[in-house]
Amino acid sequence: MHFCCNQLVDIAVWNKAKTCTEKVQKKDSPLKQCTTLQEKDCCSNESFVKTGNDTIKKANTKVEAETVIFLNTFFYVYVNLFEGLEKNIVPFKQYRPPLISKDIQTLYETYLI
């Protein structure tokens, strides 16, 4: 973080923060580090480091085949429940029954009266 006259000028996370002289140089004006002439070295850079937590343990979970199969089928059914089928599919629409060589009613002697 770069402060100029106790005001935050720039913040950088992965690299160095740009100073106010770099910003003034881009505008093609004479070098001027501070907004007031009375102060010398009114700019300051501050940085902080956040340390991580080293006490975290890895979780050892065992996933069994039955659990994976159950989750896959559950997800498939649940998604298709809301999406639905695209069109009405009748698999036996073109089905033609086999030709009868013998009359079954006379073979078993069953007649409707």
51-63 pLDDT tens trace = 777 787 877 778 7
84: in domain? no
| pLDDT at 29 (0 to 100) | 44
Residue 38, pLDDT above cutoff 80? no
107: in domain? no
Residues 6 or more apart in contact with residue 31 via CB below 8 angstroms: 21, 24, 25
Q: Containing H/E element for 107?
A: helix 104-108
Q: How far is CA 90 from the centre of its chain?
A: 38
pLDDT tens across 64-108, in order? 899 899 999 999 888 888 776 677 778 888 888 888 888 888 888
91 by DSSP, 3-state: which? coil
63: in domain? no
Most confident of 18-32, 36-50, 70-84: 70-84
Indicate left, alpha or beta for 57 from its phi (over 0: left) and psi (-120 to 50: alpha): beta
Range of the domain at 31: 2-45
Q: Binning pLDDT at 50, 70 and 90, where does residue 34 land?
A: low
104 by DSSP, 3-state: which? helix
36: in domain? yes
15: in domain? yes
Q: Binning pLDDT at 50, 70 and 90, where does residue 48 land?
A: confident
**pTM higher than 0.75, yes or no?**
no
6: in domain? yes
- Total number of domains constituting the chain: 1
